[in-house]
Structure 1
Amino acid sequence: MSATIKDNNKKRSWSEVNKSKKAERKKWKEVNLEKKMKKELTGAEINQNLIANQEHITALKRFSSISIAVPGSIIENAQSPELKTYLAGQIARAACIFQVDEIVVFDDYADEVTAKKAKFNDNVGEQVARQSCVQLGRILQYLECPQYLRKSFFPIHNDLKYCGILNPLNAPHHLGTKDEFIFREGVVLNTPVKVGKGSIVNVGLLQPVQIDKTLVPGIRCTVKLLPRDTNSKKLKGVVVSPLLPRSETGIYWGYAVRIAKSLSKVFSQCPYKEGYDLTIGTSDKGSSVDEFDCPKYKHLLIMFGGLQGLESALENDNVLDADDPKLLFDYYLNTLPEQGSKTIRTEEAILVSLSALRSKLNPEFEVQKFDETKVYCKDSAVTEDNVDAVDSEINEANNSRSKEVEIKNDMSRFDSD
């Protein structure tokens, strides 16, 4: 007869009692291990985090930005879906060439009730806006995103159906596998790691990077790579502000996209705490750009009108009381006096205006010039020689990525949203 024990008026065998005690001991060990790992944060890691936070704060203080605002209705004026996509590509190319930091797509019809709407995700969160504004914003976001991250953030969608015909931005942060640079954009992978060891991030290299913080899987982050440790097989890095690469190295690091449901919300929803301290409106009714003397600025906004100009956008806005759009801006400029055509298209006006203003701009914080001859983070690059040095944690990350939905060339799979 086997030995038994009575517990809570129920008889259990000794094997069941031992199993329950082992499970309880295991639970306590895990709790104690978690506490121990939190206490074992070394002084070097603490200093590293402090340095990263200080760099983040410094970058914000000394950063002068350029924003442009374009109406989403210009997409509706295009004759075909291919031309709509190409028009958005022209705007993205112009923004990249002239190092624009923010593109605001505003509804110059002031969020009409009868207009077709769609959902859009930006830094603020998900919102519902006019279909043309959302389509333009989505294409701009797609082109700005590094190619190795697009599958993670952009599922198959009808708005992106013809993006294959667009010219690539070739932005500096669109790095290849063999490109050597200290900063990289990445996506946090859903890879299990030990408590207190941070997250695993895909940054477009042959193996992912282990960062210093634990982040939610699926989000985009900017990673600063650390020099490779000869005693470790892993690549390591720290999460930094997206502004830091440009502030520290002088290299352009892409633009952000924001949707504004009316002309007034371009100003009221400005992401900068103090707002835009210099605003410029463009129109053939403005004063000549040749007479423009640019004051110092921290955050500059340049606004462009649609088919009917900024006058129509102002008339449709229920918040602004001004009768003349020039009253909304510090300067109202004609960036191409004596033009030969009766009209200048918005995508053309962006190139013309940014070209005319480039030599006149006077930012308060000058960004250092990027030195192309300098090699950044050579020790952190992954080559074909060391790709075999991958542990089980890295293999799990690769398996996780392989499960993501792949974008195929079958155009019939695009939805109608």
Structure 2
Amino acid sequence: MREYLRPLRDFPRLLIAIPSSFVENDSLLEASIKLGLIARSAAIFRVEEIQIFRDHLDRNYRRNMILMKDILSYMETPQYLRKRLFGIKKTLRYVGILPPLRTPHHPLVEDIKEGEYFFREGVVVSSTKSGSYIDIGFERPIFIKEPLRKGSRCTLLVRLKGDIIETRLWTKDKIGIYWGYSIKTYDSLQELIKTHSEKTLKIATSKYGDLIMNVFDELSTELRRKKYVLVIFGSKRGLFEIAKSEGTILRKLVDYVINTIPRQGVESIRSEEAVLATLSILNILKYLKSS
């Protein structure tokens, strides 16, 4: 039982995609609250990457994509790095009311114990040929011998021994537990799909899709075979309409189109609700796959 309490980075890695129209016609406050829910769902179910794609029917897609990327990136960033990385932005006006993620890479001060190794996110504040100074939220930046690009994020393995701080540059893939999500943007749904190989199981969600219970066993089998699973969500416009606006057919782009909420009791399900419901089911499927 205890093994299922650890937020491991296991396979298949989970990716989600949402269109720019997710926040179409929303006020900044409304958009912030909705994106906060997306970030929480992504963190709960250990999403590795959130992919934002342009909805070609969205007239304000540039504004919306910037807004979505800013808020989702801000929430993923540890609190002690946010001021340095984001400064003051109009898009972030309401982020203070959003719930914190409290993922493993958002540690509290009391989580740090002297003599024990721990991982810490940092940002490069200056760099020369001899090395880099990294802000990891301590009183002073930490020096490492590797030259890194100024302003870039990095992960360090750290140990405190009295006044001595031991550090080593680390990589996310070597950590083994969930370490937040990244953000990517795409100019269309088709462009997004083309970046994924056969190693990715591609799932679109729609109330007009195949009922989840009818493809449950198939999905379970496919999850055993794939390295990644990409789950694509629509907005007030469904994915069938978004695909049609690009001159293509949704079912030709993906492996499955599924309805994860059969007999829904409301006229329409909001995207942020669909994300939570769908990822809940896939999380169960993932751990039933070997039974």
The question of a shared fold, defined as TM-score above 0.5 by the shorter chain, is answered with yes
**1: CA distance, partners of 2:76 / 2:173:** 15
Note if contact 1:298-1:363 (Cα within 8 Å) is conserved in structure 2: no
Does residue 185 of structure 2 align to residue 259 of structure 1? yes
Deviations 1:96-122 (A, max 9, x none): 111111001111217x7xx44xxxxxx
Kept after mapping to 2: 8 A contact 1:101/1:254 = yes
CA distance in 1, matches of 2:191, 2:164: 46
CA contact 2:23–2:64 (8 Å) conserved in 1: yes
Structure 1 position 301 matched with structure 2 position 224? no
CA distance in 1, matches of 2:63, 2:258: 30
Aligned AA (1:68): I
| 1:279 and 2:202 correspond | yes
Higher strand fraction: Structure 1 or Structure 2?
Answer: 2
- 1:413 aligns to what? none
**Which AA in structure 2 matches 1:221?**
C
Aligned residue for 2:122, secondary structure, equals strand
Quick one: which of 120, 134, 143 aligns to 1:184? Answer: 120
Once residues 174 and 12 of structure 2 are traced to their aligned partners in structure 1, the CA distance between those partners, rounded to angstroms, is 12
Check whether the contact 1:190–1:217 (CA below 8 A) recurs between aligned residues. Answer: yes
| Cα deviation code 1:309-363 (max 9, x no counterpart) | 0012111225xx43xx123221211101011111101000000111122111269
1:130-155 CA-partner distances (Å, limit 9, x unpaired):
21122111100000000111111112
Report the counterpart of residue 394 of structure 1 in structure 2: none
Does the alignment pair 1:146 with 2:71?
A: no
Give the superposition deviation at 1:278: 0.6
Q: Which one-letter code corresponds to 2:95 in the other structure?
A: C
Q: Percent identity among equivalent residues?
A: 36
* Deviations 1:149-168, CA, capped at 9 Å, x for gaps: 11111121111111111111
Kindly indicate whether residue 29 of structure 2 is the aligned counterpart of residue 100 of structure 1: no
Return the letter of the residue paired with 2:189. Answer: L
Give the AA of the match of 2:213: D
299-308 vs 183-192, which deviates more? Answer: 183-192
Alignment of 1:200-219 (within 5 A): 200-219=133-152
> Against the structure 1 CA distance between its residues 94 and 283, is the aligned structure 2 distance closer, same or farther, given a 3 Å change threshold?
same
User: Does the 8 Å CA contact 1:276/1:301 hold for their aligned counterparts?
Assistant: no
- Aligned counterparts of 1:139 and 1:227: Cα–Cα separation in 2: 33
Seen in structure 2, the aligned counterparts of structure 1 residues 275 and 189 have a Cα distance that, compared at 3 Å, is farther
Normalized against structure 1, the TM-score is what? 0.60
Partner of 1:52: none
Provide the C-alpha distance between the structure 2 equivalents of 1:363 and 1:209, rounded to a whole number of angstroms: 44
Aligned to 2:261: 336
Q: Would you say 1:68 and 2:16 are equivalent positions?
A: yes
Q: Deviation per CA, 1:182-204, whole angstroms, max 9, x where unpaired?
A: 11100112277xx64x3221212
| Unaligned residue ranges in structure 1 (runs of 5+) | 1-59, 117-128, 365-417
Question: What SS is found at the alignment partner of 1:361?
Answer: helix
Report the AA paired with residue 180 of structure 2: G
CA 1:210–1:363 in 2, change beyond 3 Å: closer, same or farther?
A: farther
Q: 2:170 aligns with which of 228, 240, 261?
A: 240
Displacement, 1:209? Answer: 2.7
Preserved contact between residue 201 and residue 211 of structure 1 (Cα < 8 Å): yes
Query: What is the match of residue 276 of structure 2?
Result: 351
Contact 1:68 1:100 in 2 (8 A): yes
From the superposition, tell whether residues 158 and 150 of structure 1 become closer, same or farther in structure 2 (CA, over 3 Å).
same
Mapped partners of 2:110, 2:139: distance in 1: 9
Q: Distance in 1 between matches of 2:124 and 2:14?
A: 29
1:135 aligns with 2:70: no
Offset, 1:63: 5.8
- Residue 300 to residue 191, structure 1, CA distance change in 2 (3 Å): closer
* Contact 2:211–2:262 under 8 Å retained in 1: yes
How far the C-alpha of 1:219 sits from its partner, in A, is 1.4
Q: Distance in 2 between matches of 1:131 and 1:208?
A: 35
In the superposition, relative to structure 1, how do residues 207 and 280 fare at CA in structure 2: closer, same or farther (>3 Å)? same
Alignment of 1:29-68 (within 5 A): 64-68=12-16
The one-letter code sitting in structure 1 at the alignment partner of 2:212 is: V
